[in-house]
A and B are shown apart, each in its own frame.
Chain A
């Protein structure tokens, strides 16, 4: 590699796939708060109950609180990320269509949108990771809460329910890893709409 180029021309960025921003919003701003509330609610039940009702009340509380914190942090990161995601059309709406005639400013705005897109990508992926950890921890927390203690009634039903949730939680882990592989497999295909002609 010789002298680096003086001119780096950035294109207008968009999520892959295009609907990702909208889809992520549902998980980040609807599902995550509900799940966090569920984790904290269940933690309150475990904390208030007699110790012998639950098999392992201490670790159960810990897992549920960790789940709630992960989900709350995922919401915060998602809020922080959201402000960095905007499109070329948003830029035109804010500055007016005549901004295209100002080459220098148009390039600066494009570079700024590229940089902001990268920030969205980074913070959003962190939010995604925390959301996924949060849901898995919640699953394990529910398993631990269902496991019957010495004083609990109907232990066999509770063990059955715990087993089902445990299986679902491992299914969740499998699904998360499968989705990750799919993203990397899809990455081997050329992004639609991006060609040698550029996206000026």
Chain B
């Protein structure tokens, strides 16, 4: 038994960053990614009120870190940390466009009455 096997400091995780060209946004470490991704998808399914509530809670502190005009600034950090989905064989851009399209469609559709 050697000392380094008894205590060895953990090393820090890598932060999640925005992938858009020229965007300096550093979103830090995203915790409980699976849980919050499901909550985000549920919010998108419910409609714009739920989306805005989710963004107010999870993206308000991070939006200003994106560059002006960043197309992904209105997506919460959990989305930045979760895509691409390796089980989805499509390119990253296609997956993110689908996410953005779902949000746009939800805003157009309005709130679901059963949420």
Task: Establish whether residues B71 and A4, one from each chain, have CB atoms under 8 Å apart when the complex forms.
Answer: yes
A186 at interface by CB-CB < 8 Å = yes
Number of residues from A at the complex interface, CB < 8 A: 71
CB pair A114–B26 under 8 Å, yes or no, is no
Q: Which residues of B contact A124 (CB under 8 A)?
A: 13-14
Cβ of B35 within 8 Å of any chain A Cβ, yes or no, is no
B92 to chain A, nearest CB (A): 4
Q: Determine if A184 is an interface residue (Cβ-Cβ < 8 Å).
A: yes
| A163-182 vs B, Cβ < 8 Å mask (1 yes, 0 no) | 00100110110011001101
Most chain B beta carbons < 10 A, residue from A31, A190, A191: A191
Residue in A8, A121, A183 whose CB lies within 8 Å of B12: A183
Contact partner of B14 (CB less than 8 A), chosen from A4, A108, A121, is: A121
A196 with B67, Cβ < 8 A, contacts A1-B74, A42-B1, A184-B29 known: yes
Q: Is there a chain B Cβ closer than 8 Å to A24's Cβ? A: yes
Chain B stretch 55-91: residues in CB contact (< 8 A) with chain A:
65, 67-68, 71-72, 74, 81-84, 86, 91
Shortest Cβ distance from residue A60 to the other chain B in the assembled complex, whole angstroms: 13
